[in-house]
């Protein structure tokens, strides 16, 4: 019997009936906080491990209902014009009072603190779907490994109840953290964003030596790993980048625990969230790959007999 300590996790979403992030029908738990700042991040609200206010300006009627209920004074109204503004220098405490009084749903507070028991109650609601489809629970983010104790205990609780577990990760963590969660993780969905460390730093804010070291440790120690590669035109779609990835993975070609490569084409599903957070979107132009580009990359990887799929959202 595994003893599970009741810890708390700071999350920003729980998505049910997910079909993309692991086998079968899955419940995806998004952890808040990430050490990377990927230019194309589709979940910017998951980057900071704190409560944040999403402000949909097009829905706001500047009624002022939010101003008096906010205990820390985040909501400001400019003199004269009475235009609603968010003071990004003040930290939200997550009381959600502004969200509750807004008559047009222009405000949403991102972030919740939940116990492992509370999360497991949500997970258990869909057990019949897991059993029918071979699905389970996937931890994502943000970055799960930013909250290793909570993540480990949630994974332990799932394994205690015979629920399949998977984890999406950028792999940027100390090896001992990866080793701790690996014991209770049935599948790692491991991001490889760029093989060149300096270029990796330019587009994500960190170098990749620790990431690739953790990846090879997982593969060498027989943990199930599927590589995920987000693809952006002119960023990591070149022939050399693909060849470098193949060179890294070639020694593991016949390992049963190497589950292949998922190619994740760039999309704009998270773009609107940046303006709602009061942030500038980092990418200019549209680095979306054409179908011909995706076919070229897919065929390049297939030539080496790696399982490869293009995942379209």
- The token pair at 262 is 């998922």
- Assess whether pLDDT exceeds 80 at residue 6: no
pLDDT at 1 over 70: no
**Predicted local confidence at residue 3, as pLDDT:** 53
The pLDDT score that the predictor gives to residue 5 is 59
pLDDT digits (tens, 9 = 90+) for 164-179: 999 999 999 999 999 9
Q: Which CATH architecture has domain 8-48+116-273+286-310?
A: Alpha-Beta Barrel (3.20)
Asked whether residue 4 carries a pLDDT value surpassing 60, the answer given is: no
Q: Where in the chain is the domain with CATH 3.30.70.20?
A: 52-110
Range(s) of the chain covered by CATH 3.20.20.70: 8-48+116-273+286-310
Q: Tell me: the pLDDT tens digits for 177-193?
A: 999 999 999 999 999 99
Structure token pair of residue 305: 């007999």
- Does the domain spanning 52-110 belong to CATH 3.40.50.11540? no
Q: Note the pTM of the prediction, 2 decimals.
A: 0.94
Mean of pLDDT values over 238-254: 95
Q: How far is CA 304 from the centre of its chain?
A: 29
DSSP line for the chain: -------EEEEEEEEEEE-SSSSSSEEEEEES--S---TT-S-GGGSSSS-EEEE-GGG-----SHHHH-TT--EEE-TTT--EEE-TTSPP----HHHHH-TT--EEEE-EEEEHHHHHHHHHTTHHHHHHHT-EEEEEES-GGGSHHHHHHHHHHHHHTT-EEEEEE---S-HHHHHHHHTT-SEEEEE---SSHHHHHHHHSS-SHHHHHHHHHHHHTT--EEEEEEE-TTTT-SHHHHHHHHHHHGGGTT-TTEEEEEEEE---TTHHHHHHHT---S--S--PPPHHHHHHHHHHHHTTT--EEE---
Identify whether the C-beta of residue 310 lies closer than 8 Å to the C-beta of residue 301: no
Provide mean pLDDT across the span 98-120: 97
> Which residue in the block uniquely carries the two structure tokens 């942030």?
279
Cβ distance 43 to 270 under 8 Å?
A: yes
Give the model confidence (pLDDT) of 277-293 as tens digits.
999 999 988 999 999 99
Distance in angstroms (rounded) separating the CA atoms of residues 252 and 265: 24
State yes or no: pLDDT of 313 exceeds 90.
no
Average pLDDT rounded to a whole number, residues 147-152: 97
């Amino acid at each position: 019997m595994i003893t599970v300590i009741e810890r708390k996790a700071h999350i920003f979403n729980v998505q049910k009936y997910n079909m993309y992030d692991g086998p079968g029908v899955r419940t995806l738990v998004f952890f808040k906080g990430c050490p990377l700042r990927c230019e194309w991040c589709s979940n910017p609200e998951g980057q900071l491990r704190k409560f944040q206010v999403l402000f949909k300006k097009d829905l706001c009627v500047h009624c002022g209902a939010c101003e008096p209920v906010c205990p820390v004074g985040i909501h400001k109204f400019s003199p004269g014009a009475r235009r609603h503004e968010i003071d990004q220098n003040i930290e939200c405490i997550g009381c959600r009072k502004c969200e509750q009084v807004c008559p047009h749903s222009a405000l949403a507070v991102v972030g919740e603190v939940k116990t492992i028991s509370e999360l497991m109650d949500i997970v258990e609601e869909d057990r019949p779907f897991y059993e029918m489809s071979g699905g389970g629970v996937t931890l994502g983010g943000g970055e799960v490994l930013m909250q290793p104790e909570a993540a480990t205990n949630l994974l332990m609780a799932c394994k205690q109840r015979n629920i399949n577990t998977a984890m999406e990760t950028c792999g940027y963590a100390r090896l001992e953290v990866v080793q701790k969660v690996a014991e209770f993780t049935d599948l790692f969905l491991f991001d490889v964003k760029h093989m060149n460390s300096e270029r990796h730093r330019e587009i994500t804010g960190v170098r990749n030596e620790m990431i690739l070291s953790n990846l090879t440790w997982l593969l060498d120690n027989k943990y199930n790993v599927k590589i995920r590669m987000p693809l952006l035109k002119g960023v990591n779609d070149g022939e050399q980048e693909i060849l470098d990835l193949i060179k890294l993975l070639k020694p593991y070609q016949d390992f049963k625990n190497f589950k292949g490569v998922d190619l994740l084409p760039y999309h704009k599903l998270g773009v609107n969230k940046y303006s709602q957070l009061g942030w500038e979107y980092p990418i200019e132009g549209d680095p979306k790959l054409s179908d011909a580009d995706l076919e070229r990359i897919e065929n390049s990887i297939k030539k080496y007999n790696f399982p490869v799929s293009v995942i379209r959202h």
